[in-house]
Each structure stands twice: as structure tokens, then as C-alpha cells.
A and B are shown apart, each in its own frame.
Chain A
Amino acid sequence: MAAKQEAAVGVTGAHGVPQHHRIAFALMVALLLLAPFVVYPVFLMKALCFALFACAFNLLIGFGGLLSFGHAMFLGTAGYACAHAAKVWGFNPEFAILFGTAAAALLGIVTGLLAIRRQGIYFAMITLALAQMIFFFWMQAPFTGGEDGIQAVPRGMLFGLIDLSKVMVMYFFVLAIFLAGFLLIYRIIHSPFGQVLKAIRENEQRAISLGYRTDQYKLLAFVLSGTLAGLAGSTKAIVFQLASLTDAHWNMSGEVVLMTLLGGLGTVFGPVVGAFIIITMENYLAGLGQWVTIIQGSIFVACVLAFRRGIIGEVGHWLKKPL
């Protein structure tokens, strides 16, 4: 039985990780190690933060089937918490990032308990509304600096030893965080927990009848996704030395949906590719003003109408191996 399943998934190496996943992962790491010597590192760091954000989002929609339209609340909240801890309380960057991530986890528990009470379209609307509430909260809170945000956040000394103000050092720190987050998500997806999550996505009633408490699984998936999105938001605040309202706005929630959809919902590598493409596009088209929004909207429409597997989904389909 087990052998049959493995054969269906593809050639499986040691520890049950398929060969083609190992190859793709090695390729990705090699590219990311070489990239800062060719491409502007600050741009790469931005893309990596968004890639982690999109992977975290994909954990929820791609494997749990829950479309959150409010993930910016985790990115924004973690950014503010991290920036405040680093700037006002003088936390080391690693503790500031952990603090921001913990804040997102806490928010995930509270909002998750509310949002999982409804499914499907209602879930999307509720998360969107909750995120809008959080947005207004941060807009009015006294310590977030309103429209200006928290500026001049110190990057500080990692572990009190390593100076993060050097751009290459910062890059490899961000890369380490991204890879750790990516591998954690990979582990979650392929754990028994991840399998139950997929079962709930496919048929929740059947999962319940098999004895799984689906609400607890969905809540845990929501919290994990929010926490990892918070990790991305905290890291982003340290990289750009800024936490602002942009990260908490519904536009950002839409953008992460777009990245994941373009790369491929429910694929392992898709969100990373999608994030890099969208960030590159925004970088080059920034001078065109409103055209960025129009192009984003058009990509949404094109993906939904003609291209639902996304880029990596199509590649995987073509190779007959899920990537």
C-alpha cells in the first residue's frame, strides 16, 4: 500500500522527500546564494520577505482550502511590534523579530477563533473585515506614527555580535530566515497534520465523520500561517527599518493572494516564484503609477479565467510531478 502511494508521487529519496523536490530546492538555494552578487541585495531581501509571506498564505489556501483576504494584518502587526521592540525597547534584532512573530501568532489565535466559525466565501469576507479593523486600530494607535509609520528602526547587532547594517550580512540573515520558514512549511505540509488538512480541504464532512476535530485543525493551520506571515513582516521591518500602514492595508492582502495564485495555489515552490515576479514587476513599473494596479488586476483575471494552476502548477503538470 505504502509502496504504491510512493510510486504515485514519484521517485522518493531518503526521509520520504521526493527526488524532484530535492532538485528544485537545491536549485532555488543555489540561485539565492549567487543572486546578491548579481542583483541589488535590498531588492532580493524584499522579494524574499514577500516569498515567505506568500508561502505562509499558501499553507492556508493551498493545503487547508481557506481563502484569507486579510493576511496583511499579520504582516502589518508583526512589523509594528518588531519595529517598536527594536526601536523603543532596544531589543536585539533576533528578539525583536521573535516578538513581532509572537504578536502575529497571538492575533492569529484571536482572529482565527472568529473566522473559522464560517466557511468559504464568508471566511474570506470575515478575514477581510477583521483585517480592516486591525488597520484602523494601527492607524489610530498612539505609538505607530499614523501615516508616517515607525521610521529609522535600528537593524542592530545580531546576537550582539554581528553587525546587520552591512547589506550582505543582512541578506544572508534574511535568506536564512526565509529558508527556515520554507522548510518548516514543507515539513508541516508533509506531516500527518498536513495530510488531515488536505482531507478537510477535499471533504470536510468526511473528515469529521472519520473522527477529526476539523475546527482545531483549521485553527492551527490559521495560526501557523499567521505566525509565519508575521515572521515575514518582522523581518521586513528590520530590513527596511520601517513599519508602515501600507503593510496592513487590504491592498497587501490582495497582493499576497495574487502572488500565490500566479505562482500556483497549493504548490510548494509556486508562491516563491509568484512573489519574485510580482515584486520585480512592481519594481520596474513603479514609475507608471496606476498601471501597476491595472496590470495586477489583469493578472488576477487572466489567472482565474485561463491559468488556474499558476506557473509552477503548469510546470508540474507538464513534468507530471507536483512541485
Chain B
Amino acid sequence: MDTIFGIPTQALFGQLLIGLINGSFYALLSLGLAVIFGLLNIINFTHGAQYMMGAFCAWFLLTKLGIGYWWSLLLVPVIVGLVGMLIERAMLKPLYKLDHLYGLLLTFGLALIIQGLFRHEFGSSGLPYQIPEALSGGQNLGFMFLPNYRAWVIAASIVVCFATWFVIERTKLGSYLRAATENPALVQAFGINVPRMITLTYGFGVGLAGLAGVMAAPIYQVNPLMGADLIIVVFAVVVIGGMGSIMGSIVTGFTLGVIEGLTKVFYPEASNTVIFIIMVLVLLVRPAGLFGTQR
């Protein structure tokens, strides 16, 4: 049992694991994008930059203030989310009555500014971030070696994704949110503060990106451009899944990560492009996306 389809099992499971890790980040990021889009009708181009900010924030807390990984996991999403809420109040709010494309342009400009500032300050080489002690080492599963930290990332992101799904689809707060997505004016008429809800939703979506950044810091190097190319892939994930359903984003994110990982084993030349090719196929068959509704 050393090979499957002529591929060494070590390599196969190794890439499968990397695929699941990437999938975790696709799921977390596309989930945030979907939540924001649902209420604000804006595609948050700054999402990649905010994910990068999360990683830098964790690095800063550790090296300058001595605050470790576990506290970062709690603090960073709050910090990044608060910065996001400031941006929403100051800049996005005046755009809601305009064409939604202006929101895309604004957040693209913000992403350029943030990435430029971080590159100016930190250069383009990566900064290392230590894996927390409790999660160092790994398990030998017999057929492969599973690093503890990677197992933790996959488990944690699944939990976070499903918790988000639960809050939005199964709680009272979530029902307000879904109602406001359908008809904000009517929800406001029932006495719910919709503008505040919009701000908090943006903060929450952005906080998810920050959380993904903290979890990514020990795996990928902390780099000002770590979110720049990733966000384009996440856009493709969003197009494939469609933005109609929360569960859709989660499932699509993980599945595409795994497919990408498997492509690295069987046909490495296409591993960069496979998600885009799947997007093309989905557009041909189901333009609204796998879980989406055309609108």
C-alpha cells in the first residue's frame, strides 16, 4: 500500500492535507465576503488586505507586546473588525445609495493603500511566526504524518464556519440579519437599527478575515502581499458557489481546496488555474453558481 494510482500515498495525503488547509481559508474568507455582500451589496475587495492585517497584528502582538497565539486568536479579529467598522462608517456608508460598483472600486483602492503601507514598512519578504507550543509536533497516523497545528486549523475553521452558519440560520439575531438582507426598509420600520446592524455585519465579516490571518500566520509567512493573490482565488470560489447560501460558501471553499490539492498531485501544471477552470465550467452550466440564485 505504498501507491494509489501510481502516486505515493505520502504525497497524496500530504497534498490532500494542504488542500484542506487552503480550503479552510477559502471557506473562512468566502464566508465573510458572502455575509458582507448579503447585507451591504458590496464586494469587499479589502478582504485580502484585512486577512493580511490579521496575520501582521498577531505577529505584532507576539513580538512587540509578548501576547501569545491564543490571546491573538481572540484579540485580532476584534481589532481588525473595529478598524473595518471605522472604514464602513467613514467611507462605505455614503456609497450605499450609489451603484454598487463604487463600493468595489473604493475597497480596491483601500486594499492598495493598506498593502502599500505594509510593504513600505515591512518590505516584501516574510516574517516568521512560531507555532504555539501546545500545538507543535504531530501525530504519526501510519499512512502519513499529521502536524498538530494543521489539524487544529482545519478543525477550528470548520467549527467557526458552522458556528457562523448556526448564528445566521438558526438564531433570532440571524433572522433579523436575513430579514434585513431581504428588505432593509421594512426591518427598520419594525424598530431595528439597520445602519448599526450593517456596521456590525461588516465588522464581523472583516473579523473573520482577521481570524483567518491569525491562523495562517504560522503556516504561511507573514507577508504584506499574502492576501493579494488569495483574494482573487476567493472571488472565483464565490462565483462558483454563488452567494445565496452560507452553507454553499463553506462547502465550496473546502471542496475547491481539496480539488486544488489533488491537482497538485496528478497534474501540477494546472494547480494554479484549476479553480478558475472550474469557474468557467460552472458559468457554462449554472451561471448563478452551484448554490446561488440569479439576481
Contact = CB atoms under 8 A, between A and B. Distances in A.
B236 A297 contact: no
A67 interface: yes
B287 A294 contact: no
Contact of A261 (B105, B236, B283): B105
Interface string B84-120: 0000000100110010111011101111111111011
A257 B116 contact: no
Interface string B125-163: 000000000000000000000000000000000000000
B184 to A, nearest CB: 18
B101 A293 contact: no
A305 B287 contact: no
Q: Which residue, A124, A254, A293, A304, has most C-beta atoms of chain B within 10 A? A: A304
B277 interface: yes
A320 interface: no
B32 to A, nearest CB: 15
B120 A114 contact: no
B270 to A, nearest CB: 9
A129 B274 CA distance: 11
B120 A297 contact: no
Given A129-B232, A296-B112, A117 B287 contact: yes
Interface residues of B, number: 43
A136 interface: yes
A300 B112 contact: yes
B112 A128 contact: no
Contacts of B272: 136, 139-140
A293 B235 contact: no
Interface in A272-323: 289-294, 296-301, 303-305, 308
A132 B232 contact: yes
A120 B41 CA distance: 11
Contacts, number: 120
B284 interface: yes
A308 B102 contact: yes
Interface string A96-133: 00000000000000000010011011101110111011
Given A67-B104, A114-B280, A126-B279, A133 B273 contact: yes
A300 B115 CA distance: 14
B276 A297 contact: no
A254 B232 CA distance: 13
A129 B235 contact: yes
Contacts of B280: 114, 130, 133
A6 B259 CA distance: 58
B263 to A, nearest CB: 13
Contact of A126 (B101, B239, B269): B239
Given A118-B287, A300-B108, A304-B109, A129 B116 contact: no
Contacts of B110: 297, 300-301
In the complex, which of the residues B41, B43, B112, B117 has the most CB atoms of chain A within 10 Å of its own CB atom?
A: B112
Interface in A245-275: 250, 254, 257, 261
A37 to B, nearest CB: 36
B247 interface: no
B238 interface: yes
A137 interface: yes
A303 B284 CA distance: 36
A305 to B, nearest CB: 6
Rank and list the top 5 A-B pairs by shortest CB-CB distance, nearest first: A300-B109, A297-B112, A297-B113, A293-B116, A133-B276
Interface of B: 37, 41-43, 91, 94-95, 98, 100-102, 104-106, 108-117, 119-120, 229, 232-233, 235-236, 238-239, 269, 272-273, 276-277, 279-280, 283-284, 287
Given A129-B236, A132-B229, A297-B112, 6 more contacts: A67-B101, A254-B112, A257-B105, A293-B116, A294-B117, A305-B91
23 contacts: A67-B105, A69-B104, A114-B284, A121-B37, A121-B41, A125-B43, A125-B235, A125-B236, A129-B235, A129-B279, A130-B280, A137-B273, A139-B272, A254-B112, A257-B105, A291-B120, A293-B115, A294-B120, A297-B111, A297-B116, A300-B110, A300-B112, A301-B110
